[in-house]
Amino acid sequence: MATANPPHEPDAHDHQDCIAKALALAERLCDERGARFTPLRRRVLELIWSSHESAKAYDLLEALKDFDCSAKPATIYRALDFLLEQGLIHRVESLNAYVGCNVPEQRHELLLLICERCHTVEERPAPELMAAAAREIGVAGFAPSRKTFEVHGLCAGCAGVG
């Protein structure tokens, strides 16, 4: 999932803190919105945030079996739908997978940088890209329902940059 510090630098990133903050924020937002953040939904979100890589639904289902041995595909998809509706996760369309959202307080446009080597996914706001895309979309007279850009390549750590 998204991170400002590449996972190649373990001293620079406390991932347990990352997970704790994501779960606490999700709990607060769901409470404010009157949305039921059930233990199962919480566990699915925790599994998604367990790394900065995207997570596939069936991998989540398998991991969820320790929490709920009766979990079925419908169980995981209902939880994912809830988390998507609440803006707590994003769907990575090109990978048919999910990542945690860094800014779940507000709906936003999305640039996902997907590393083909270490499989991390970094969420970035990219305001200049979004503005350029909005101009081009406007010229076309197109009315987008959402805007997500996915870029595949090598993260700075894997490319040896930075």
Q: What is the pLDDT of residues 81-117, one digit of tens each?
A: 999 999 999 999 999 999 999 999 988 888 999 999 9
pTM: 0.85
4: in domain = no
Mean pLDDT to the nearest integer, 34-59 = 95
Residue 118 labelled as part of a binding site = yes
Residue 107 and residue 90: Cα distance in Å, rounded? 11
79: in domain = yes
Residue 18 labelled as part of a binding site = no
Q: How confident is the model at residue 161 (pLDDT cuts 50, 70, 90)?
A: confident
1: in domain = no
Domains: count for the chain: 1
162: in domain = no
List the domain range (segments joined by +) for residue 51: 10-157
Sort strands 110-115 and 148-153 into parallel, antiparallel or unpaired: parallel
90: in domain = yes
CB 49 within 8 A of CB 1: yes
